[in-house]
Amino acid sequence: MSKINLKREEVQNMIHPVILSGGSGSRLWPMSRAGYPKQFLALHGDDGTTMLQATAQRVQGDNFAAPLLVCNEEHRFIIAEQLRLANIEPSDIILEPIGRNTAPAVALAALRLSQSTPDALMLVMPSDHVILDETAFHQAVEKAAVAARQGALVTFGITPASPETGYGYIQRGDAWQSQEGNAEGVFSVSRFVEKPDLATAQQYLDSGDYAWNSGIFLFSAKTYLDVLAKYQPDMLTAATSALEGSQQDLIFCRVDADAFAASPSDSIDYAVMERTEQAAVVPVEMGWSDLGAWSALWEIEEHDNNGNVTRGDVLLDKTRNSYIYAEHAMVATTGVDDLIIIATDDAVLVADRNNAQDVKVLVEKLKSEGRAEHNLHTTVHRPWGCYRGIDLGERHQVKRITVNPGERLSLQMHYHRAEHWIVASGTALVTCGEKEFLLRENESTYIPMGETHRLENPGKVPLQLIEVQSGSYLGEDDIVRFEDGYGRTE
């Protein structure tokens, strides 16, 4: 079925995926960092699909509308590029100027959808979850949709496989019923409970009445906005004002920053689900994981005969029940058990697998000490491509720059540094002052300090270029932009 020129009733029956991409994934450091968090990484599987792409691909088909994304504005170009590579065209990408948790973010999406389809069914999903059994997921969505059309706010409860203390729980009540009827496989919510201790979690498991709280929801835009107006009117007012003051920025919807900042910060669970009598739950076994820590990846991946999971160039001896990730250099181990070892090109994490949640404490220490490793990788992504730091000295810096076909950097200048460019592969179109010329493989040029310049890739293959900077200050904030095709300000 084409999604163009659909009849009104067909649009109303479709499910509108709403993908939330605002987290930082600090427990998966050093692979996941604030500037490039876990949803943009290919952590699970061998086909290179990122978690964001897998989430969007999971909701493709005739029953689903194009996805709407709500994201941190700093990640907007990463999201757009990853969706483009997955051949997925979103209906909208709404930019959050500041984090206000999930309830206000979903309010923006509900308001946006209600402009054209007030009764639109919203399937709200984090962008960084793993679901191994997609058939079970789709079946659960079909069940939830019946109750959602009857006014329920449905969450998906994961049938627990163990007494997990890292998840919140949902206690199941009676079968869901409304004035319009019932919905098979859907139950009312008796209560939500916080992350329990081990003994309490075991009681929940033994009772059979509890499920893990997945953080995935399905409800109509109208129902959510009505309940929000009842329990969180200030939040709804702020979201409404933010969207009314929005501006279109390329393919992005940029909401009013001041209005959105006035919103209370709260999750869907606290703001709505724990208060309303319309909460319902669909219990489901679908191979779900929120990948909240490296230990979660160890649990879902295939193990060797000694219980190990490895990725990259790893050499093992007398090693058991460990997760080892080698991004670049080889990692070798001997005589160790129950470890998490993550080696990137600028950081190495070694942790007890049973204390993997504590990685977040290390990230907080990095922040407090003013170190950059919590925020950016050595490879930094930009809307035109990416660059990777190779060497940094007192008055020099070396980068490897990749410019995607047809893309170009801003027209800019630097007050404190000069630059040498050497083309490693591809073709570069260079603007330097009043001159414009081509550089091909093994050719180079010099950009004097204070000179207006631009780099562009006019070819059909990526441009690979080595940049050598020299000067008294080499920070990324020494950029004066005169013209930019990506809407970035100075």
What mean pLDDT do residues 108-115 have? Answer: 96
Asked whether residue 211 is assigned to any structural domain, the reply reads: yes
Q: Are 279 and 312 within one domain?
A: no
Same domain, 422 and 442: yes
Q: Residues 300, 143: contact at Cβ < 8 Å?
A: no
Range of the domain at 48: 8-289
Burial 294-315 (b: 16+ CB within 10 A, else e): bbbbbbeeeeeeeebbbbeebe
Asked if 251 and 315 sit in the same domain, the reply is no
Boundary of a domain, candidates 289, 311, 330: 289
HEC readout, the chain: CCCCCCCHHHHHHCEEEEEEECCCCHHHCCCCECCECHHHCCCCCCCCCCHHHHHHHCCCCCCECCCEEEEEHHHHHHHHHHHHHCCCCCCEEEEECCCCCHHHHHHHHHHHHHCCCCCCEEEEEECCCEECCHHHHHHHHHHHHHHHHCCCEEEEEECCCCCCCCCCEEEEEEEEEECCEEEEEEEEEEEEECCCCHHHHHHHHHHCCEEEEEEEEEEEHHHHHHHHHHHCHHHHHHHHHHHHCCEEECCEEECCHHHHHCCCCCCHHHHHHCCCCCEEEEEECCCEECCCCHHHHHHHCCCCCCCCEEECCEEEEEEECCEEEECCCCEEEEEEECEEEEECCCCEEEEEHHHHHHHHHHHHHHHHCCCCCCCCCCEEEECCEEEEEEEECCCEEEEEEEECCCCECCEEECCCEEEEEEEEECCEEEEECCEEEEECCCCEEEECCCCCEEEECCCCCCEEEEEEEEECCCCCCCCEEEECCCCCCC
Is a pLDDT exceeding 80 seen at residue 182? Answer: no
Rounded distance, CA 190 to CA 273, Å? Answer: 11
Segment 106-110 shows an average pLDDT of 98
pLDDT of res. 6: 47
Same domain, yes or no, for 172 and 236? yes
Where does the pLDDT of residue 489 fall: very low under 50, low under 70, confident under 90, or very high at 90 and above?
low
On whether residue 460 sits in a domain, the answer given is yes
Q: Within this chain, do residues 267 and 324 fall inside the same structural domain, yes or no?
A: no
User: Tens of pLDDT along 253-262?
Assistant: 999 999 999 9
Examine the domain organization and report whether 399 and 363 are in the same domain.
no
Quick one: 405 and 310 in the same domain?
no
> Of 246, 272, 289, which one is at a domain's C-terminal end?
289
In a domain, 337, yes or no: yes
Per the structure block, which two tokens stand in for 111? 């308001």
Residue 1 forms part of a structural domain: no
Whether the bond into 30 is cis, omega within 30 of 0: yes
| β-bridge mates for residue 218, sequence order | 123, 154
| Same domain (yes/no): 112, 58 | yes
Domain total of the chain: 3
The structure tokens 């969180």 sit at: 232
Same structural domain, 420 and 437: yes
When pLDDT is cut at 50, 70 and 90, the band that residue 5 belongs to is: very low
Q: What is the CATH number of the domain that holds 434?
A: 2.60.120.10
156 and 214 assigned to the same domain: yes
Within a domain: 488:
no
On the question of pLDDT at 11 being above 70, the answer is: no
Sheet holding 379-382, edge to edge: 379-382, 385-392, 396-403, 463-471, 417-425, 444-447
Q: Can you tell me the mean pLDDT for 93-104? A: 95
Per-residue pLDDT at 10: 54
pLDDT higher than 70, residue 231:
yes
38 and 174 both lie in a single domain: yes
Does 9 score more than 80 pLDDT? no
- Among 343, 368, 393, which residue terminates a domain? 368
Task: Say if residue 160 is in the same domain as residue 268.
Answer: yes
List pLDDT tens digits, range 341-378.
Answer: 999 999 999 999 999 989 999 999 999 999 989 998 88
Gyration radius from the chain CA atoms: 25
Is residue 57 situated within a structural domain?
A: yes
Domain membership flag for residue 373: no
pLDDT for res 487: 80
Answer for the pair 293, 356: CB distance below 8 angstroms, yes or no: yes
Give residue-wise pLDDT tens across range 432-487: 999 999 999 999 999 999 999 999 999 999 999 999 999 999 998 899 999 998 88
**What is the average pLDDT across 174-191?**
87
Q: In this structure, what CATH number is given to the domain that contains residue 55?
A: 3.90.550.10
| Whether residue 22 has pLDDT greater than 90 | no
Domain membership of residue 266 (yes or no) is: yes
- Sorting pLDDT into bands at 50, 70 and 90, what band is 13? confident
Confidence of residue 3 (pLDDT cuts 50, 70, 90): very low
What pLDDT sits at residue 104? Answer: 97
